[in-house]
Structure 1
Amino acid sequence: MGEIYVVFSRTHTRIGGMIRFFTRYQFNHVALSADSSLRRLCSFARYRAHSPFRGGFAIEAPCSYCDGCRDTYIRIYRVPDPQGEYCAALERYARECGHYIYNLFSAAFSIFRLRVRIPESSTCLDFAADILRKEGVYSIRALEREIGGTLVYEGSMRDYLTAQGVPIERDERFFEPVPRPTAIAEACVAVMMLIDHAIL
């Protein structure tokens, strides 16, 4: 029988901290993996650590959760996928990854329990909820409560990867510095792309 792994995490970003503050919940990010090693984590996320508004569908390197001496607290659930439909959906997103952008508007309104639907865009929460067919879920807390999987791990991402034999190597491209003017320009482009998707 197939299965999919749902990974809830507490990331070290300012936006992540704001999400946790407003939602009063310990996790602010969710990703999906078709394999227990988490070598390939699928989600909607930023493409570079220092450019928070430029993002979309991403296949995240698990080591991006462990920068230098930092670690990330995670919780992993194993969810049955007997027909393979969840994993097939992940593969479909991976094949078409260039079409999907990050939905900044939905992320902003999520603290009010609202989802802003814009074609070919999503957030980590909306993406996971759609893949797992939990469309009525409006918070990470609710998604964790509704997925109905088996809790298989809770604790350090670094310790989990080490136990799985996954090398923890710094993703230099993900963590490379981004000048402030570049980050601002990328944020403006991201907003314009979202508006463009919304009116098409």
Structure 2
Amino acid sequence: MAQQLKKIYIILSQTGTLLSNILKTATGATYNHVSISLDPELRTMYSFGRLNPRNPFIGGFVKESIVGGTFAHFPKTEALVLEINVTPYQYSKMKYKLETMACRASLYHYNYIGLFLAIFKIRYKKRNCFYCSEFVKDMLIKYKVKREKEFDKITHPIYFLNLKNTRRIYSGKLKSYKYPQLAAANKQA
């Protein structure tokens, strides 16, 4: 009997904040933040970003939501959502890791130096320090959802669009995302 696959979600976003616009100018990319979610409705997304929506200079491991936190403060946030099939084993391992990180969030820090140097294509890695795309890349590689060779040494959020075996399920305002409506529309198509 075939194993029933689970799904995870990669969310690319552009809030339109000063920092995201600086990154957009520096990289030329449409999206400058990436999160991961195990929930099709994106009730909980995980990433490295602002700990306080109003302060871009204090960052770390964050649980994000469409209706709360940074995204609630920036309702014009544009997003693109990718869906990836994973095995139940990969899903459960990722879920455990994300829940553990959330419980121990104070042990994780934002990789400010790495983010700055990434603009110049210089990699800087420090234990338990990530910027958003480093974190999502690490999760996908660690749990064998993707192979390291699928990524550049320095990964920017926009690079996730080039991953094989992903499905784009949404593009538009993040606050307008509704998974049940998307699922119904996909069944009718």
Partner SS for 1:21:
helix
Deviations 1:119-166 (A, max 9, x none): 1110001001101115543222222212531111111112115977xx
Distance 1:57 1:66 in 2: 18
Distance 2:165 2:156 in 1: 15
Q: TM-score, normalised by structure 1?
A: 0.74
Instruction: Name the CA shift for 1:16/1:93 in 2 (closer, same or farther; >3 Å).
Output: same
Partner SS for 1:132:
helix
Distance 1:147 1:86 in 2: 20
Amino acid at match of 2:95: C
Instruction: Name the CA shift for 1:162/1:71 in 2 (closer, same or farther; >3 Å).
Output: farther
Which position in structure 2 is the counterpart of 1:12? Answer: 16
Amino acid at match of 2:125: R
Contact 2:41 2:179 in 1 (8 A): no
Q: TM-score, normalised by structure 2?
A: 0.78
- Measured after TM superposition, the shift of residue 53 of structure 1 is 1.5
RMSD (Å) for aligned C-alpha atoms:
2.0
Matched, 1:124 2:128: no
Among 43, 56, 60, the alignment partner of 1:52 is 56
Contact 1:4 1:86 in 2 (8 A): no
Matched, 1:102 2:110: yes
Contact 1:7 1:76 in 2 (8 A): yes
Gaps (5+ residues) in structure 1? 165-200
Amino acid at match of 2:71: Y
Instruction: Name the CA shift for 1:147/1:111 in 2 (closer, same or farther; >3 Å).
Output: farther
Aligned-residue sequence identity (percent) comes to: 25
Distance 1:120 1:7 in 2: 22
- Measured after TM superposition, the shift of residue 52 of structure 1 is 1.3
How many residue pairs align between the two structures?
163
Partner SS for 1:113:
coil
Which position in structure 1 is the counterpart of 2:37? Answer: 33
Contact 2:34 2:132 in 1 (8 A): yes
Contact 2:32 2:156 in 1 (8 A): no
Deviations 1:26-66 (A, max 9, x none): 00000111101111110001111222121100101222314
Distance 2:168 2:36 in 1: 14
Among 71, 76, 79, the alignment partner of 1:65 is 71
Distance 1:57 1:147 in 2: 27
Contact 1:99 1:120 in 2 (8 A): yes
Distance 1:53 1:61 in 2: 20
Contact 1:113 1:139 in 2 (8 A): no
- Measured after TM superposition, the shift of residue 93 of structure 1 is 1.8
Gaps (5+ residues) in structure 2? 142-146, 182-189
Contact 1:66 1:157 in 2 (8 A): no
Instruction: Name the CA shift for 1:86/1:144 in 2 (closer, same or farther; >3 Å).
Output: farther
Among 81, 84, 100, the alignment partner of 1:76 is 81
Matched, 1:91 2:99: yes
